[in-house]
């Protein structure tokens, strides 16, 4: 956990945060004391979802903005969009995230075969983001495997680890702290080339949910406690 005694927690923009995964993270991080901005392509949608989340929180803790404004106002951007919107969203915030950390939650699923691992042209969504944004942005890959259903219920325990990959160890630590703040456990899984495992696991988990007739399968790394 970050040291909350000496400095305010950073501002986080959740781009595409009106979806289930982003909203769940927003709720948990706002509750943990982070300054959260929900980003959306449309101001109106950002505000509508923000109002719903603030009602759940019982306090006006979260703000809503268009994606570029949200990214500009934050020091950390978290990208939670369907893969079909990945490139366009990155284009819309490319300038705003320079010098910052971008945590990519995107999974390159290929509908309708969403339970089969599909590799995008750039190998992983996260590596595509890093290549597109350039070296001025520290891209971290995380949070692909946590059940959105469980995230959105702030009292539901998260029985799932967050595999964190990225080429900058300090940026990985930021994401590990954010996993802890969401009541999950962040695990340092090495360089961004390893993002392929977490992105691929989402397809596996979707298939396992179907095959085992459950809703919230997840993963745990064993042997490191």
* Dihedral in degrees, nearest 10, Cα atoms 61, 90, 83, 200: -90
* Polymer length of the chain: 225
Does 200 sit near a second copy (CB under 8 A)?
Answer: yes
Distance of alpha carbon 213 from alpha carbon 80, whole angstroms: 26
Q: For the CB of residue 164, give the shortest distance to a second copy in the complex, in Å.
A: 11
Binder of a second copy out of 20, 88, 119, 131 (CB under 8 A): 119
Cα angle 149-186-142, degrees, rounded to a multiple of 5: 65
Within 10 A of 3 (CB to CB), how many other CB atoms are there? 8
Q: Contact between 170 and a second copy (CB under 8 A)?
A: no
Between residues 30 and 176, which has the closer beta carbon with respect to a second copy? 176
CA 58 to chain centre: 23
Task: Give the Cα separation of 205 and 215 in Å (integer).
Answer: 10
- Per-residue x/- mask for a second copy, residues 89 to 118, rule CB under 8 A? --------------------------xxx-
Q: Which is nearer to a second copy, 38 or 171 (CB)?
A: 171
Which residues of this protein are in contact with a second copy, per CB under 8 A? Answer: 115-117, 119, 123, 147, 159-160, 163, 187-191, 193-194, 196-197, 200-201, 203-205, 207-208, 211-212, 214-224
């Amino acid at each position: 956990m970050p040291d909350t005694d000496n400095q305010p927690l950073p501002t986080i923009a959740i781009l595409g945060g009106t979806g289930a995964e982003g909203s769940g993270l927003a709720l948990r991080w706002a509750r943990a004391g982070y300054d959260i901005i929900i980003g959306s392509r449309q101001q109106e949608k950002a505000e509508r979802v923000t109002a719903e989340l603030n009602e759940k929180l019982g306090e006006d803790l979260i703000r809503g903005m268009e994606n570029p404004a949200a990214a500009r106002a934050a020091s950390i951007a978290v990208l939670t969009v369907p893969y079909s919107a990945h490139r366009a969203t990155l284009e819309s915030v490319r300038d705003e995230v320079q010098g910052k950390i971008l945590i990519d939650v995107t999974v390159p699923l290929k509908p309708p075969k969403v339970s089969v691992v599909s590799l995008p042209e750039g190998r992983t969504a996260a590596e595509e983001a890093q290549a597109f944004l350039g070296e001025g942005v520290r891209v971290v890959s995380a949070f692909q495997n946590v059940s959105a259903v469980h995230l959105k219920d702030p009292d539901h325990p998260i029985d799932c680890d967050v595999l964190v990959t990225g080429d900058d160890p300090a940026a990985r630590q930021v994401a590990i702290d954010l996993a802890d703040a969401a009541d999950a456990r962040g695990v340092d899984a090495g360089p961004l080339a390893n993002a392929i495992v977490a992105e691929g696991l989402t397809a596996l988990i979707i298939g396992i949910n179907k095959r085992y007739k459950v809703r919230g399968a997840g993963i745990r790394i064993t042997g490191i406690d």
